[in-house]
Structure 1
Amino acid sequence: MSQEKLLEITNLKQHFKTGRHSVVKAVDGLTFDIYKGETFGLVGESGCGKSTTGRTIIRLYDATDGQVLFDGEDVHGKKSRSELKKFNREMQMIFQDPYASLNPRMKVEDIIAEGMDIHNLVNNDEERKNRVHKLLETVGLNREHANRYPHEFSGGQRQRIGIARALAVDPSFIIADEPISALDVSIQAQVVNLLKQLQKEHELTYLFIAHDLSMVKYISDRIGVMYFGKMVELASAEDLYKHPMHPYTQSLLSAIPLPDPDYERSRERFTYDPNDHDTSEEPEFREVRPGHWVLCTTKEFDHYKKEHGTSVKN
């Protein structure tokens, strides 16, 4: 992983009106960077805003406020058709539901080649077919699958088709929005290992969105934890697991089961209560130690510094 920023997100907000006077703050002031070549894991419970964050980054939603810079360029700024086309090629998405994300009326060859056709990446039908066959083999399928329809495949195979479709335009950044949550446990590891392999082969950068912290730790370099539209903690995967600071992160980690029945019977789960927080001031995202950020008040910040060692400037 390099230290060159590919994505810079500053105070990103995505608010939805649900009535005349009601607003849902799905994403409420996120600030973080993603470096070239890394996998940034984004975790949190259902409804916390993590999928909305991904969809806003890729412009499926227009941001309510804030800035998203991709390779130094403003994603949500005014763009010409050619600029949008270039951006759409560089950034792709793998969706959560492998059943709903593929057009049932299209053959696999046409599904995968759709991006190639839009971006004029092939010169003739033969080249188009050969590239589709190569992509199918890259994701662990075979060329005979090109003439079939989505309903003829299992969930894991469909997700591999979705991955091939994302790779078809040679992107540099892929948002994987809970790509394994709809799959059997036995298939999940296969898909994650495939994503790791493709990252090395194609020099990809990932935003990996999920709620399974154990799987996110396995694939991610750094992890951001979201709670009700805000990021409450951000650190390297290893540091987050060894030294979770925010009570919500601690509650997520305590919910991960371990393959030890005796230990599981006796251990206590940690339940997060947001009312237990210091309410004397509005919490800010602060760097407690190098690379480890926590949403906290000044009082909580001083406590975290004392408890977790080396501090940095506020």
Structure 2
Amino acid sequence: MAEKLLEIKNLKQHFPTSKGTIKAVDGLTFDIYKGETLGLVGESGCGKSTTGRTIIRLYNATDGEVLFNGENVHGRKSKSELKKFNRKMQMIFQDPYASLNPRMTVADIIAEGIDIHGLAKSKEERMKKVQALLETVGLNREHANRYPHEFSGGQRQRIGIARALAVEPDFIIADEPISALDVSIQAQVVNLMKKLQRERGLTYLFIAHDLSMVKYISDRIGVMYQGKIVELATSEELYRNPIHPYTKALLSAIPLPDPDSERTRLRQVYDPSIHNYDGEEPELREVSPGHYVSCSQTEFAKYTS
């Protein structure tokens, strides 16, 4: 049985506004196991990125628990405890242009975590670590003294990956790490992440809206809609046997590399009104081993018959 690294229990992230409360994340419960990649997908505004930022404590959770190695991430913590936690969990951000300080050299950007956690005893050791990390992500040692504006988008994202790796984390949240990149570069970055996972035993939460790329990198996939997970299964099972109507709609929107099929293929549109819950709150229920769907008791009976 795989070991749980992260346990999310009824996680909520609500934002009060002048027009009412926005329930960006509204009661998520799922686990992430050591060494796996869990993909989190859904349309813009469904709460994917907010989930990642709440897990890593960039936002304080409104309610619920995030347990990392059995320890509550959102519990009271001293500065030293927070520092230790921040070393174990890192984030790769969506925009490689905005996430790197243009006034800092690549060496200083990558070494920020090394400096904070005291992982180098001298300037020479610091530079050696930076150069090794640059080579690990497919860049050159000479790039250390350059500035972010001298690099392409794909190279900048590699710098962002090197920065996350610098403190030797166990878990990385990748928040749409390829969405700002050219299609030709996306596969290179994803292949690099898979290679690093194999070599370093990393665990990923991979957040994206591109279901085809998520299938390629993920062991399991959670589909989000309006702050909730509506379906969770292995990537193969989700593509082979989607059950929730929203998942079916998302999959039907993936373009096929066949012009004839594309012309005749019907896209599905998700209409939430098809569900008749009659006051019954839908729950994430296991319809087959490891395959969970948000549904009512009536729908559950239909899905499992």
Range class of TM-score, shorter chain: over 0.9
Per the alignment, residue 294 of structure 2 pairs with 295
What secondary structure is seen at the aligned counterpart in 2 of 1:93? Answer: strand
Give the distance between the partners of 2:265 and 2:196, measured in 1 at CA.
38
Residue of structure 1 equivalent to 2:156:
158
The match for 2:191 is 193
2:110 and 2:82 map into 1 onto residues whose CA distance is 20
The number of aligned residues is: 304
1:78 aligned to which of 59, 76, 79: 76
User: 2:85 aligns to what?
Assistant: 87
User: Does residue 104 of structure 1 match 2:102?
Assistant: yes
Question: In 2, distance between residues paired with 1:278 and 1:256?
Answer: 28
2:260 partner letter: D
Corresponding position of 2:114: 116
Secondary structure of 2:111's aligned partner: helix
Distance 1:179 1:52 in 2: 15
Counterpart pick for 1:265 among 263, 266, 273: 263
The Cα RMSD (Å) is 0.7
- Report 1:14-93 matches (<5 A): 14-19=13-18, 22-93=20-91
2:242 aligns with 244
Q: Distance in 2 between matches of 1:112 and 1:77?
A: 29
Runs of 4+ in 1 over 6 A off after TM superposition: none
Q: In 2, are the aligned partners of 1:115 and 1:168 still within 8 Å (CA)?
A: yes
* Matched residue SS, 1:120: coil
Q: Distance in 2 between matches of 1:224 and 1:277?
A: 20
1:146 has 2:144 as partner: yes
Which TM-score applies when normalising by structure 2?
0.99
Question: How far apart, CA to CA, are the structure 2 residues paired with 1:261 and 1:194?
Answer: 31
Residue 279 of structure 1 and its aligned partner are, at CA, apart by 2.4
Instruction: Report the secondary structure of 1:123's partner residue.
Output: coil
Q: CA deviation at 1:272?
A: 0.4
The answer to whether the 8 A contact 1:107-1:146 is kept is yes
Cα deviation per residue 1:21-56 (whole Å; 9 max; x = unaligned)?
610000000000000000000000000000000000
Shift of 1:124: 0.1
Query: Once the two structures are superposed, what CA deviation does each residue of 1:150-192 show, in whole Å capped at 9, x if it has no partner?
Result: 0010000000000000000000000000000000000000000
Gaps of 5+ in 1: 307-314
Is the 1:278–1:300 contact (alpha carbons within 8 Å) kept by the matching residues of 2?
Answer: no
* Secondary structure at 1:144 match in 2: helix
Aligned equivalents of 1:267, 1:108: Cα separation in 2:
47
Q: Which residue type is aligned with residue 11 of structure 2?
A: L
- After TM superposition, the structure 1 = structure 2 runs for residues 177-256 of structure 1, keeping only pairs within 5 Å, are 177-256=175-254
Q: CA deviation at 1:282?
A: 1.3
Alignment check: 8 A CA contact 1:7 1:70 kept: yes
Per mean C-alpha deviation after superposition, the further-off stretch among 274-283 and 172-181 is: 274-283
Q: TM-score, normalised by structure 1?
A: 0.96
Question: What amino acid is aligned across from residue 304 of structure 2 in structure 1?
Answer: K
SS of match in other structure, 1:294: strand
Tell me whether 1:277 sits opposite 2:284 in the alignment: no
